[in-house]
Structure 1
Amino acid sequence: MVSLDRFDTFKAVVEAGSLTAAADLLGQTRAVVSFNIKRLEAELGVTLLTRNTRRLALTEAGERFYQRCLSMLEEARLAIDEARSEHTELKGTLRITTTVEYALAKVVPALELFSALHPDLNVQLSTSSTHADLISERFDVALRLGRVLDSSHRAVQLCTFGILPVASPAFVASVVPIDSVHTLEQTPWLEHGRVGELTITEVSSGVVRPYQPNPCKARIRADNSSVLQAFALTGQGVAILPDWLIEEDLRTGRLVHLLPEWQLSRQGVYALYPDTRHLPLKVRVFIDFMKAYA
């Protein structure tokens, strides 16, 4: 009988694109991965992959078998999850990815409680400013902020948070008084690469209008809120930052909240997971926990 472990190895090789990359993902040596692929082909009596010095390619039989593998592995994992659901404690490994700053501010404290509830579940947390590929990098769930662009994945909104225009007192003192939305839009600013179009609402009247900072006034562009926070603290311009990131800076006066009578559109926190037919129990439990924790 063909081992499901070899199915998983074959799937990893196809999605990683090479034996070496698959070995890294699986935590095995390249030789072990190569051996398991050869054994799988021998047991099936068919060639699944063609190899040369530069790349791997699926044969027609390999393409059909790969699609079957996805279905069979999903069914096997579902059966395991259902069996484990009879117990109060989860087991196995839950792999999570998110940004560094959100991990430090929100995820680490949440995981302290979550791990206490499920001590037999091993949690692996990866942090990066770039969006990881959930499939090829074998993540169970990604926690992402702002816009959700991964249409191939399913998303559950966990909560929302406010974003605030802030600057250092020294920067505020060096520019024309920021006393209106128009003035704010014309002030030198620090751009976040993944914040899309925004609206701004007058709190007292409820009037909503687009927020359109002058593109010529963008001094620095970055994809990391902590980096923009650092630039704002050194007086480089206005930054739009999450409220949970700058609470201490506002409290101590290191940063100033500009135009507090206006409110920028709130942003979402989303849990993304691969679009599979059945949501693994460990992912469902974690998402439910994070919704309640947030």
Structure 2
Amino acid sequence: MVSIDDMRLAAALAQAESLSAAARRLNVTPPALSMRLRKLEHSLGSKLANRDARRLSLTAEGERFAQQCAALLEQIEALPDNFRAPGAELSGTLRLAAPFGYGRKHIAPLLSRFARLHPQLTVHLDLRETPWPDRHDSDAVIHIGSVRDSSWVARTLAHNERWLCASPAYLAAHGVPQGPEDLAAHRCICIRENEEDVTLWQLRKPGLSRAVRVAPAMLCNDGAVARRWAEQGHGVVLRSEWDVRDAVARGVLVRVLADWRAGAAPVQLLVPVRKDRSARVQALVGFLEGGRWG
């Protein structure tokens, strides 16, 4: 007999890179999880996973079992919604994934308000470097940038340009770029994310388009770190408007080449295309679409 705990175990193994990571998801110790996995494999008569101290990979049977378990768990979690009386309080678990920086600054405070409105609901916020397409078992995903995936619906929550910025001290020492071609001679700070070509900066204005290849003086996969480096005078950074707007307002950073557009990266709420989308997800969509976005 396969229990719900067994199904949760299989789903956690499919979402984790190691046995210890899966154990953290289930709030158990790695030895306890390993013992549960051995018992499940013995019960099924199949090896579900290959594991060592650092890596975990599912066998073909394990992947098939985990997929079926995830589908069954989703149906089980949706049962309360199917019998929920109109106006009844939301319950169950809602899982939302978001990028680290934006998630901390904007999503976490909004989810705090959402949780107060629905005290019977368990809310999981999974902050990740790249929540899309590494979405795991999320009910919804916050993604910055465009997405093309027919199995998910994208709802734009906020328009978000990308700005070129540098500190007043840096510009005083190195001069202000007068055109995109000047950037090649400047110290530039690049952000490595989303598999983009981060050293090729595309700039446009009406009737003109320029692609500039910059040689990064500093490179990081954390946008907040890159912004702080720019504030400290290390160079020019190309960063999302949501992250640098306050620094520009305070005069800590200055926009350069403001008449050129560096491309939009809208804040998107991604939800699966499903007719039977849960009341929890529907409530989250309505709440976030009605929220104030910066």
If the TM-score is normalised by the length of the shorter chain, which range does it land in? 0.7 to 0.9
For 2:242, what is the secondary structure of its paired residue?
coil
Task: Say if 2:127 is the partner of 1:103.
Answer: no
Distance 1:173 1:49, change over 3 A: same
Q: How does 1:71-82 map to 2 (within 5 A)?
A: 71-82=71-82
Partner of 1:281: 279
Give the RMSD, CA atoms, in angstroms. Answer: 3.5
Contact in 1 for aligned 2:202/2:209 (Cα 8 Å): yes
Partner of 1:253: 251
For 2:129, what is the secondary structure of its paired residue?
coil
Q: How does 1:24-63 map to 2 (within 5 A)?
A: 24-29=24-29, 30-31=31-32, 34-35=35-36, 38=39, 42=43, 46-49=44-47, 54=52, 58=59
Amino acid paired to 1:123: V
Counterpart Cα distance in 2 of 1:187 and 1:111: 40
Structure 2 regions of 5+ residues with no counterpart? none
Q: CA deviation at 1:253?
A: 1.4
Task: Say if 2:204 is the partner of 1:201.
Answer: yes
TM-score for the superposition, normalised by structure 1: 0.77
Distance 1:66 1:227, change over 3 A: closer
Amino acid paired to 2:171: V
Partner of 2:236: 238
Distance 1:76 1:259, change over 3 A: same
Task: Say if 2:195 is the partner of 1:192.
Answer: no
Q: 2:223 aligns with which of 218, 222, 225?
A: 225
Partner of 2:124: 124
Amino acid paired to 1:283: V
Counterpart Cα distance in 2 of 1:88 and 1:198: 51
For 1:108, what is the secondary structure of its paired residue?
helix
Q: How does 1:137-176 map to 2 (within 5 A)?
A: 138-148=137-147, 154-158=152-156, 159-176=158-175
Counterpart Cα distance in 1 of 2:213 and 2:65: 53
Q: CA deviation at 1:169?
A: 0.9
Provide, for residues 241-275 of structure 1, a one-character-per-residue CA deviation record: whole Å limited to 9, x for no partner: 22222233212211111122222211122234567
Amino acid paired to 2:179: S
Distance 1:120 1:233, change over 3 A: same
Provide, for residues 46-79 of structure 1, a one-character-per-residue CA deviation record: whole Å limited to 9, x for no partner: 413367884786575x666555434433322332
Counterpart Cα distance in 2 of 1:152 and 1:21: 30
Distance 1:85 1:161, change over 3 A: farther
Q: CA deviation at 1:182?
A: 2.3
Distance 1:173 1:108, change over 3 A: same
Partner of 1:268: 266
Counterpart Cα distance in 1 of 2:20 and 2:249: 50
For 2:178, what is the secondary structure of its paired residue?
coil
Distance 1:168 1:53, change over 3 A: closer
Distance 1:24 1:267, change over 3 A: same
Provide, for residues 139-180 of structure 1, a one-character-per-residue CA deviation record: whole Å limited to 9, x for no partner: 43332213548x697352333212111101111122244222
Partner of 1:83: 83
Counterpart Cα distance in 1 of 2:233 and 2:57: 51
Provide, for residues 194-242 of structure 1, a one-character-per-residue CA deviation record: whole Å limited to 9, x for no partner: 255664333xxx32414x23333x2111122211111111111111122
- Which entry has the higher C-alpha Rg, 1 or 2? 1
Counterpart Cα distance in 2 of 1:148 and 1:70: 24
Amino acid paired to 1:239: V
Contact in 1 for aligned 2:166/2:236 (Cα 8 Å): yes
Contact in 1 for aligned 2:189/2:219 (Cα 8 Å): yes
Q: Percent of pairs identical after alignment?
A: 25
Partner of 2:69: 69
Partner of 2:213: 214
For 2:164, what is the secondary structure of its paired residue?
strand
Q: CA deviation at 1:17?
A: 7.2
* Count of aligned positions: 282
Counterpart Cα distance in 1 of 2:184 and 2:85: 53
